[in-house]
Amino acid sequence: MTYFSKVKQIAFLLFIGLANLAVGQDFRAAAIQQYAEGIYDVALHSINRLEKFEACDYFIKANALQKLGQFQQASLNYNEAKSNGCKDESLLLNNGICEYSLGNLSESVYLLKLYTLEHNDNFQGHYWLASVYYLQHKYSKSREELETVFSLNEKYAPAYFLDAAIHQSRKQFGAAAETFLEAYALDGTLEEAQLQAGISLLDMQKNEEALVIFKQMLKPSSSSYISALYYAGETSYLLKENDDACNYWKTAAELGDYDSKEIVRTWCENKKKPIFKIRSSRLKF
């Protein structure tokens, strides 16, 4: 092979290498942009098209997987990102949230503590740490973290929701109702906060005030519509407004609510005393 042939071959290989690098960068950039736009399945597809992953590519992939609810796979990719040396400042935070979603609360606390030590001025780390402590029933520790959140961002509605949930767990229903309504005032999409405020008032036997809230929620477009119908029925029954109660329960039953269907059968149709069940209501962070 002549000298010029060797030069041409080297130039060609260099061109191919640069082209592959550019393509890789395009896929990476596309994945980051698609993730930012909330197109998580497309972002995952783009990052998976890379021929060779760099350390933080695992982080990008993990983020997309977490948004898609594939928490176990996300956790594995966060670990790959760490072990390969990714230094993205959100790695510990996102990894901690992922472990929270998997129910690995001790691991979540460990990761979030590391994150807050390095980024003490980011309220998100303290908020998620407070959330984990809440699920561990460590309410005092949760409140300490929330105080830090409020000092950094006094209008973060989910923190008020969590604070209200702590009051509710401690049977401090008045404070719970007030704080749930604060959360809803800050973020009108937090319909669960409005619902929980009504439930707290119901627990205090402030039935008239509770019914006002449940009636405000009787919009078919509301994500809490069926629950609001059920509790409007329960509250109306306690106020001896039996016809109204049955109308609420019948509407909820027609929409597939099992508890309402049972009460329609036992009370509305057969006049047997209804049994009100404790309905599950998980926090939505």
Q: What is the 3-state secondary structure (H, E, C) of 19-31?
A: HHHHHHHHHHHHH
Q: Which of 137, 135, 87, 95 is nearest to 113 (CA)?
A: 95
Cα torsion 170, 173, 174, 175 to 10°: value is: 40
pLDDT tens digit sequence for 230-256: 999 999 999 999 999 999 999 999 999
Task: Identify the DSSP state of 272.
Answer: P
Query: What's the mean per-residue pLDDT of the chain?
Result: 90
Neighbouring C-beta atoms of residue 164, cutoff 10 Å: 26
Residue 219 confidence (pLDDT): 94
**pTM of the full predicted structure?**
0.85
119 SS3 class: coil
Q: Domain limits of the chain?
A: 155-204, 215-279
Q: 139, 165 in Cβ contact below 8 A?
A: no
pLDDT tens digit sequence for 174-230: 999 999 999 999 999 999 999 999 999 999 999 999 999 999 999 999 999 999 999
pLDDT tens digit sequence for 220-229: 999 999 999 9
**Percent of the chain topping pLDDT 90:** 85
Written as six digits, the tokens of 54 are: 């760099």
Q: 172, 205 in Cβ contact below 8 A?
A: no
Averaged over 157-163, what is the pLDDT? 98
**Percent of the chain topping pLDDT 70:** 88
Written as six digits, the tokens of 216 are: 């405000």
Q: What pLDDT band is residue 272 in, cutting at 50, 70 and 90? A: confident
